[in-house]
Amino acid sequence: MTRNEQLLFHLPMRLRRNRKSASIRRLVRETELLPSDLIAPLFVIEGRGRREAIPSMPGVERLSIDYALQEAAELHAQGIEAVALFPVVKRELRSPGAEEAWNEEGLLARAIRAFKERIPTLSVIADVALDPFTSHGHDGLTGEGGEILNDPTVECLVQMALMQARCGVDLVAPSDMMDGRVGAIRKALDEAGYADVSILAYSAKYASSLYGPFREAVETRLAFGDKKSYQMDPANVREACLEALLDQEEGADILMVKPATLYLDVIAALRARTDRPIAAYHVSGEYAMVMAAAERGWLDAAALFHETLLSIKRAGADMIFTYAAKEVVGRLLRR
């Protein structure tokens, strides 16, 4: 607006004054995205010097431990403080009982140890769930009718969390949605002398259609059924708060909502009910949709990822798991 523009009417408040320059826009900005808000998931495979493309997740690759370390070191140098490790387990090591999940010489165990040895200041998060290790692809042990058994699964998850703690993990992240697992894991960790290991609970994890590319990445396909008897109904928000507050009572240090963008109302509702930090998972399908449109030239991926992650933070999340960490951090540092 120019000074000599003729005013047609007097307005006591013209909100555009606070948008008139880049510097004023920065002064009044309510939410700022920082590299330290972002957690980079990494898919880890066996071998050395190996990288594999994941067709439904352009720009994301499965990496052998040595390459994953390189990638993580670059992200850490740009201000990323944590990675979440996901092992891609060989088919012959998967079984109905998921015993590989707590193998102390398995791929996940070796990856955690390598990360803590080579990049000690970078926090390592590991999923506690059986699905990469079960032959049927479910997150739990199955009963005779194919139902997912709660309490026997929790016993497996406890073994898995203890193994991760012995390898030096900083945060264990139960992503299975069994009842009572946070309390059981907290008790077992404390009794074994791992009171310092944190629990980041996937508290409100929905049975979403957005996990397809992730399942391609870790090569899990459900042999039967779906995950609706343990993951949440997308229709529910009060139940999400109940789940999260129960996890809080059981000793969770950080509460997660997943997926993120279709569930911003859930993040906001939980924000109003807890003082614990909230994590959100911007999942594989949310990443894939943007990349697919960007490949056709319909959307600007880097700009949209920035706007997306900002919206997740604005809704109330303190930290965000995202496959777009690299793109967004590059953009944040260039500004």
Active-site amino acid positions: 205, 258
Kindly state whether residue 284 participates in binding ligand PBG, applying the rule CB under 6 A.
yes
Contact 158, 186 (CB under 8 A): no
Residue 125 burial (CB count, 10 A): 23
Contact 45, 90 (CB under 8 A): no
Q: Which is nearer to ligand PBG, 64 or 175 (CB)?
A: 175
Kindly state whether residue 206 participates in binding ligand PBG, applying the rule CB under 6 A.
no
Residue 199 burial (CB count, 10 A): 23
Kindly state whether residue 56 participates in binding ligand PBG, applying the rule CB under 6 A.
no
* Phi, psi (deg, nearest 5) at residue 322: -155, 140
Kindly state whether residue 175 participates in binding ligand PBG, applying the rule CB under 6 A.
yes
Q: How far is the CB of 111 from ligand PBG (least distance, A)?
A: 16
Kindly state whether residue 61 participates in binding ligand PBG, applying the rule CB under 6 A.
no
Q: Which is nearer to ligand PBG, 61 or 131 (CB)?
A: 131
**Token reading at 257:** 């909502």
Q: Which is nearer to ligand PBG, 43 or 67 (CB)?
A: 43
119-148 residues near ligand PBG, rule: CB under 6 A: 127, 129, 131, 139
Q: How far is the CB of 211 from ligand PBG (least distance, A)?
A: 4
**What residue has token string 């991760």?**
164
Q: Which is nearer to ligand PBG, 125 or 283 (CB)?
A: 283
**Token reading at 101:** 């999940």
CA distance linking residue 276 with residue 283, whole number of Å: 22
CA distance linking residue 108 with residue 104, whole number of Å: 8
Binding footprint of ligand PBG on the chain (CB under 6 A):
127, 129, 131, 139, 175, 211, 214-215, 283-284
